[in-house]
Structure 1
Amino acid sequence: MQIPAISVEDYISKIPEERQEIFKKVFDAINDHLPEGFSKNISYGMVGWGVPLETYPAGYHCAPGTPLPFISIASQKNFIAVYHMGIYAKPELLDWFVAEFPKYSKRKLDMGKSCIRFKKMDDIPLELLAEMSKKMTVEEWIDIYETNFKKK
């Protein structure tokens, strides 16, 4: 479910009121802990962070001329989702997250390739999301992206 928005504040104002506070907390947990160099944006109907074109002029191969996406968060119909491309692309980071999750939540991890779904708003592990956000620099993400995804 995409939410048309022009800013983070606009996005948050358009999600259900009962989710706005926890969504802001998820946003802050990620935003406040990302290494320098990532920039926040609205893309694909979600709030996100990516590598700006000033840093990586090649941009995203799927949408030339747009920043290289890294992490996004979205309010979906039945859950809040965190999409982390680094978890998708770096098995060690995925393994770390899967091992750490039970230390922060009593719920079963609900996860796809890069999507972590949180259906219970009162049990989102904000400290874990903050810690996860610190784990990859812009330079490391560009290197992994070029190695694994970029068309040669």
Structure 2
Amino acid sequence: MTFDEYVETLDPKWKESFLKLWHTVEERIPDDFEIDVQHGMPGFVVPKTIYPDGYHVDNEPLPFMGIASQKRHLAVYHMGIYRDPDLYNWFTGEYPKHMTTKLNMGKSCIRFTNPNKVPYELIGDLAGKMSAEEWIQLYESKR
């Protein structure tokens, strides 16, 4: 599946907020990441030209950040926030400064249940906080 094919499948309720979030992340994420669709979800990965070992589970490019439109929410998956306690603490500390709604978050998944209440600027800031090299180092240190 390509990114455009994915967008064609989006529920109209989520399409506008998904695309705004996608473009916000795309503008802010460091240039060393590439767009890829893995496991049916578009996202940003460390290309194998930078990290030939790839993701140890399936030998695909190393995933970093994905954005998905689910039935009941818009989801941002950020592997750095899962692996880096300082980044996690930064994000959870910043979130209340941007939103009045309660943070709905798992280990790497941030969920937004209202398409009109997405902290685009904050997610853009999060996207720019870690380079591919920093992500590789963190990934390798915790394997």
Q: Does TM, scored on the shorter chain, surpass 0.5?
A: yes
1:50 aligns to 2:45 (yes or no): yes
- Pick one of 123, 142, 146 that aligns with 2:136: 142
- Over the residues paired in the alignment, what is the CA RMSD in angstroms? 0.7
The aligned residue for residue 75 of structure 2 is: 81
1: CA distance, partners of 2:17 / 2:103: 18
- Pick one of 63, 66, 70 that aligns with 1:69: 63
The aligned residue for residue 7 of structure 2 is: 12
**Cα offset for 1:7?**
1.7
The aligned residue for residue 105 of structure 2 is: 111
Q: After the TM superposition, which segments of 4 or more aligned residues of structure 1 sit over 6 Å from their partners?
A: none
1: CA distance, partners of 2:14 / 2:82: 26
**Cα offset for 1:29?**
1.1
What is the aligned residue count? 143
Question: Which stretches in structure 1 are left out of the alignment for 5+ residues?
Answer: 1-5
1:23 aligns to 2:18 (yes or no): yes
Task: For 2:131, give the aligned amino acid.
Answer: T
1: CA distance, partners of 2:10 / 2:117: 19
2: CA distance, partners of 1:118 / 1:139: 29
Preserved contact between residue 13 and residue 115 of structure 2 (Cα < 8 Å):
no
1: CA distance, partners of 2:69 / 2:16: 12
1:102 aligns to 2:96 (yes or no): yes
Higher relative contact order (CA 8 A, sep 6+): 2
Question: Which stretches in structure 2 are left out of the alignment for 5+ residues?
Answer: none
The aligned residue for residue 34 of structure 2 is: 39
2: CA distance, partners of 1:122 / 1:21: 10
